[in-house]
A and B are shown apart, each in its own frame.
Chain A
Amino acid sequence: EPEVTQTPSHQVTQMGQEVILRCVPISNHLYFYWYRQILGQKVEFLVSFYNNEISEKSEIFDDQFSVERPDGSNFTLKIRSTKLEDSAMYFCASTAGGPYNEQFFGPGTRLTVL
């Protein structure tokens, strides 16, 4: 069964460093998303991406964040200068599109900022 994959599973970085989280969505999906979950808190929407551009972003997704689909398979989330409060699980999701398609989530990347 097709699945969303994410690498790495765990990323440890120093505050102020740049990190890139990678996702491979399901191959025929058209809409891509990033969510995050700070430990003990709820899953929060970050950004949606369709047709090579951001569709919508939340207030969390500030200028430190960017997303890219560099080729036909990868979808990346970049954090330019990490802060301690960026420590969280980051989930990528994708959907085939159209209204109300359920999103398929990857296993997540745990980002730890020291």
Chain B
Amino acid sequence: DQQVKQNSPSLSVQEGRISILNCDYTNSMFDYFLWYKKYPAEGPTFLISISSIKDKNEDGRFTVFLNKSAKHLSLHIVPSQPGDSAVYFCAASQDWNNDMRFGAGTRLTVKP
């Protein structure tokens, strides 16, 4: 089941710079997209979401962009901080059941 793909397993960024995490999906029925952050030994923590009627959603340092025609979304973190170092999961869902499908995750390392 590869409906949600995160093709970059890891990303390293300097503190203060922009982090861009990418996610692609194949199921055109997905209409809600979420980013979760996960620290070791903890469960995923919700970060930000976007519905298919929007192409951008911003929350502080985090912005998610959605390109429905390309079935692509990205998470921008500006400026990146060392505390942002974690694994970031892209997830997608459709209809009221909210059954999410996750990508494989991208490990972000922000260097001081």
Contact = CB atoms under 8 A, between A and B. Distances in A.
B25 interface: no
Nearest to A44: B102
Chain A's interface size range is: 20 to 34
Nearest to A99: B96
Contacts of B95: 99
Contacts of B41: 107-108
A4 interface: yes
Contacts of A105: 36, 43-45
Interface residues of B, number: 26
B102 A42 contact: yes
Given A48-B98, A95-B98, A43 B89 contact: yes
A42 B46 CA distance: 16
Given A98-B96, A105-B36, 11 more contacts: A42-B104, A48-B98, A56-B97, A93-B43, A99-B96, A100-B49, A100-B51, A103-B100, A104-B46, A108-B41, A108-B42
Interface of A: 4, 6, 31, 33, 35, 41-45, 48, 50, 55-56, 58-59, 91, 93, 95, 98-108
A77 to B, nearest CB: 14
A86 B60 CA distance: 39
A4 B42 CA distance: 12
